[in-house]
Amino acid sequence: MAAHILLLALLSLSSTLIHAYDPSPLQDICVADLKSPVFVNGRVCKDPKLAKADDFFFQGLDEPGNTSNNVGSKVTPVFVDQIAGLNTLGISLARIDFAPYGENPPHTHPRATEILTVLEGTLYVGFVLSNQNNNTLITKVLNKGDVFVFPIGLIHFQANIGHTPAVAIAALSSQNPGVITIANSVFGSKPPISDNILAKAFQVDKKSSSFPSLPHLFTLTIQVLYKTFVSQILTHMVHLICVVVNGFVCKAIKEVKANDFFLSGFDKPSNTKNKVGFNVKNALVNQIPGINTLGVSLVRLDFAPYGENPSHTHPCATEILTVLEGTLYMGFVLSNQNTNTLITKVLNKGDVFVFPIGLIHFQANIGRTPAVAISTLSSQNPGVITIPNSVFGSHPPIFDDILAKAFQVDKKVIDHLQAQFWMAAHILLLALLSLSSTLIHAYDPSPLQDICVADLKSPVFVNGRVCKDPKLAKADDFFFEGLDKPGNTSNNVGSKVTPVFVDQIAGLNTLGISLARIDFAPYGENPPHTHPRATEILTVLEGMLYVGFVLSNQNNNTLITKVLNKGDVFVFPIGLIHFQANIGHTPAVAIAAFSSQNPGVITIANSVFGSKPPISDNILAKAFQVDKKVIDYLQAQFWVDP
Ligand SMILES: *[C@@H]1O[C@H](CO)[C@@H](O)[C@H](O)[C@H]1NC(C)=O
Ligand SMILES: *[C@@H]1O[C@H](CO)[C@@H](O)[C@H](O)[C@H]1NC(C)=O
Ligand SMILES: *[C@@H]1O[C@H](CO)[C@@H](O)[C@H](O)[C@H]1NC(C)=O
Ligand SMILES: *[C@@H]1O[C@H](CO)[C@@H](O)[C@H](O)[C@H]1NC(C)=O
């Protein structure tokens, strides 16, 4: 009885939690306009042209919070309200300070899984499984450098069991995870929940349910959780999501141990004695099996003095980086649509910076001392594509004439670059993430209505496009004409893409699909590029194409290629670098379909060597392991988007 009442009263929302992951982004960046009066799912976006590095930046996470309160803990949030650039990116973080014997009392996050890293002190932490799993309490004592996962929607707590202050960083898989502190929700709601209901629910006398002291409440809550608490969140989540989503098979719940959610040694630096002066320590699904299906992970980045993490992308994740030690210079490059704009920032201890999903980015230590950072990623398996390795170090190599045309240089330069990467690739391969092969994460959000024809004239920026009044929708909103007309391939790569995205067919808005016609002159090519938000299916209408894509670092940058003839169809998985080249002496034509209304295009050469302003040649020289002169030469080329 009581269980049912509480179940209804408290967490009737829990059945929706399962589906409450943040929607995927529909554009490179959607910086929250925190002053807009318009209500949307998340936040209205600023005009992307007005985006600044500071929109992706937060300062002062090295400062302790004030724990002089009755629970002896303080959470400093770094959510979308603190970093406007997090809007639509499905990730955030917080610093938690604990006084000696302070605690972060039992609470849930309705929209996020949490990964906690202990920076200082000793914490006793735990979470409670749902009824179906006998309300099992899973606990662990954590020390400095330990990492622990709290699955989405489950009630959890952290308590400092040491006589010194403790500090932790929590990563959360939502731009706005929400917090429901059980005590406040149950005993402090406005208006109050009837004391009859609570007395019965908690199996206590009415007198004590007015506002129990905290230790009492704590014990009480745990007991209640054990006895009576709530629905089927975890089972649903594990069973539903494991079936539907890629990832690993789940363990039987009975065999689950606290150690499945735990990793130690995150305070220990990794070896940075390699060509780039950089190394990574992972807390991904391979290291913490409990992260499976939870859509979030963590890495520790160590930089030698002047070391760098070369240009790379994560096909499946947004990243939030927090500097623990040292001074880092970092940046990311917007896609072709946004003219390959480079956004950079120098970060000091305690500073936080966001790298949106799929965009090329880098970090470099500009100090004379080692630097350390912790990055949170919005996927259990974010994947890494290191650009130099993927383009010049694939196995087997991409043909040098394809790259010579793409990078507009002599084949000798390409051969020289390709010769570099045996070593560097190997080091990076060992250094970078060892993951399984799931890459699919960034689907467009599902539509919430029959049609949402984009109002292309609306001045309001949202995730995707504002809808027209459905009454005003016309057949022409779903129509595009002239895809039989060849594009003009008289340019230096000999190819032309004619897009049919949401900007061309307004009716595509929220529908998660689009297409393009690609024309190739004889021996023309569509140079190496990625789509940050879409998988592509290519159908050859005329001619003969040589096509390929490169797997990410953890799969040895393996190159997968195929010669396609008229009527052949080929798939390029989301976020991977790929190309198409006409190997016939007649023009070729293909139609590409994309799993996004706005897939985005990042042409590697343009993004890396043609960004505005240019990426520092020091950084690129180290990344590509060549002389600065080669980089300067490449940067001097005139980069045209195909
Ligand atoms: C911390 O909070 C307490 C209580 O609100 C206040 O009295 C104290 O001045 C604060 N300390 C600092 C350093 O802000
Ligand atoms: C829960 O307890 C019941 C009865 O003790 C047992 O049969 C069942 O296997 C348990 N389930 C789990 C997931 O521990
Ligand atoms: C194709 O583009 C080239 C270079 O921009 C231009 O000179 C030429 O006139 C164009 N051809 C057509 C048919 O538009
Ligand atoms: C990558 O290369 C290493 C060393 O050559 C090899 O052991 C491993 O099996 C390769 N992995 C894949 C996915 O090809």
Q: For the segment 301-340, what is each residue's pLDDT rounded down to a tens digit? A: 999 999 889 888 886 677 888 888 999 998 888 877 777 7
134 CB near ligand 2 (under 6 Å): yes
- Tell which wins on pLDDT, 439 or 602: 602
What CA dihedral angle connects 49, 51, 53 and 55, to 10 degrees?
A: 180
Of ligand 4's atoms, which has the minimum distance to the CA of residue 554? 13
State how far the Cα of 616 lies from the Cα of 609, in Å rounded to an integer: 10
Statement to judge: residues 262 and 373 lie in one domain? yes
Q: Quick check: 3 and 68 in contact, CB under 8 A?
A: no
Of ligand 1's atoms, which has the minimum distance to the CA of residue 69? 4
Number of domains in the chain: 2
Instruction: Judge whether 279 is annotated as a binding position.
Output: no
Residue 341 has pLDDT above 60, yes or no: yes
Statement to judge: residues 418 and 352 lie in one domain? no
C-alpha 557 to ligand 1 mean position (Å): 54
Residue 512 has pLDDT above 90, yes or no: no
What residue owns the CA closest to ligand 3's atom 14? 488
C-alpha 600 to ligand 3 mean position (Å): 25
Of 393, 401, 412, 444, residue with least CA distance to 552: 393
Coil/strand/helix, residue 26: coil
Of ligand 3's atoms, which has the minimum distance to the CA of residue 488? 1
pLDDT in tens, 477-486: 888 888 888 9
Statement to judge: residues 626 and 497 lie in one domain? yes
Ligand nearest the Cα of residue 496 is: 3
* Rounded mean pLDDT, 140-160: 87
Statement to judge: residues 359 and 462 lie in one domain? no
What residue owns the CA closest to ligand 3's atom 3? 490
Instruction: Judge whether 441 is annotated as a binding position.
Output: no
- Tell which wins on pLDDT, 534 or 116: 116
* Rounded mean pLDDT, 61-79: 91
Of 608, 630, 639, residue with least CA distance to 417: 630
Q: 285 in a domain, yes or no? A: yes
* Rounded mean pLDDT, 525-541: 86
Q: What pLDDT is attached to residue 73?
A: 92
What residue owns the CA closest to ligand 1's atom 10? 66
Residue 244 has pLDDT above 60, yes or no: no
Give the mean pLDDT of the chain: 76
Instruction: Judge whether 109 is annotated as a binding position.
Output: no
CATH number at residue 552: 2.60.120.10
Residue 613 has pLDDT above 90, yes or no: no
State how far the Cα of 587 lies from the Cα of 543, in Å rounded to an integer: 6
Statement to judge: residues 87 and 176 lie in one domain? yes
Q: What pLDDT is attached to residue 581?
A: 92
Q: What are phi and psi of 250, to 5 degrees?
A: -85, 150
Residue 74 has pLDDT above 90, yes or no: yes
**Residue to mutate (ligand 3; options 490, 493, 496, 638; most atoms within 8 A of CB):** 490
Counting runs of H as helices and runs of E as strands, what totals does the chain give?
Answer: 13, 32
Type of residue at 569: V
Ligand nearest the Cα of residue 436 is: 4
Q: 211 in a domain, yes or no? A: no
Q: Quick check: 523 and 583 in contact, CB under 8 A?
A: yes
Least confident window among 217-231, 266-280, 564-578, 600-614: 217-231
Q: What pLDDT is attached to residue 303?
A: 95
Of 514, 516, 502, residue with least CA distance to 462: 502
Residue 416 has pLDDT above 60, yes or no: yes
Confidence of residue 546 (pLDDT cuts 50, 70, 90): very high
Statement to judge: residues 446 and 343 lie in one domain? no
Q: What pLDDT is attached to residue 206?
A: 59
Statement to judge: residues 482 and 548 lie in one domain? yes
Residue 95 has pLDDT above 80, yes or no: yes
Residue 236 has pLDDT above 90, yes or no: no
Residue 437 has pLDDT above 50, yes or no: no
* Rounded mean pLDDT, 93-116: 88
Residue 210 has pLDDT above 50, yes or no: no
Q: What are phi and psi of 305, to 5 degrees?
A: -55, 130
What residue owns the CA closest to ligand 1's atom 13? 66
Q: 590 in a domain, yes or no? A: yes
Residue 523 has pLDDT above 50, yes or no: yes
Q: 198 in a domain, yes or no? A: no
Confidence of residue 214 (pLDDT cuts 50, 70, 90): very low
Q: Quick check: 436 and 381 in contact, CB under 8 A?
A: yes
C-alpha 69 to ligand 1 mean position (Å): 9
C-alpha 583 to ligand 3 mean position (Å): 23
68 CB near ligand 1 (under 6 Å): yes
Q: What pLDDT is attached to residue 208?
A: 47
C-alpha 6 to ligand 4 mean position (Å): 53
* Rounded mean pLDDT, 451-475: 81
Q: 396 in a domain, yes or no? A: no
66 CB near ligand 3 (under 6 Å): no
488 CB near ligand 3 (under 6 Å): yes
Q: 213 in a domain, yes or no? A: no
69 CB near ligand 3 (under 6 Å): no
Q: Quick check: 78 and 61 in contact, CB under 8 A?
A: yes
Statement to judge: residues 412 and 350 lie in one domain? no
Statement to judge: residues 485 and 537 lie in one domain? yes
Q: What pLDDT is attached to residue 368?
A: 94
Statement to judge: residues 316 and 423 lie in one domain? no
What residue owns the CA closest to ligand 1's atom 7? 68
pTM: 0.68
Residue 115 has pLDDT above 50, yes or no: yes
Neighbours of 389 (CB within 10 A): 28
C-alpha 228 to ligand 2 mean position (Å): 15
66 CB near ligand 1 (under 6 Å): yes
Coil/strand/helix, residue 415: helix
Statement to judge: residues 360 and 430 lie in one domain? no
Q: What pLDDT is attached to residue 439?
A: 31
Q: Quick check: 525 and 604 in contact, CB under 8 A?
A: no
pLDDT in tens, 16-69: 233 335 667 777 778 888 888 777 767 788 887 788 888 888 888 889 999 998
Q: 297 in a domain, yes or no? A: yes
434 CB near ligand 4 (under 6 Å): no
Structural domain harbouring 323: 2-35+48-184+237-377
Residue 335 to residues 202, 354, 457, 612, 624: CA-CA distances in angstroms?
55, 16, 22, 11, 21
Statement to judge: residues 569 and 518 lie in one domain? yes
State how far the Cα of 360 lies from the Cα of 354, in Å rounded to an integer: 12
Confidence of residue 621 (pLDDT cuts 50, 70, 90): confident
Of ligand 4's atoms, which has the minimum distance to the CA of residue 551? 13
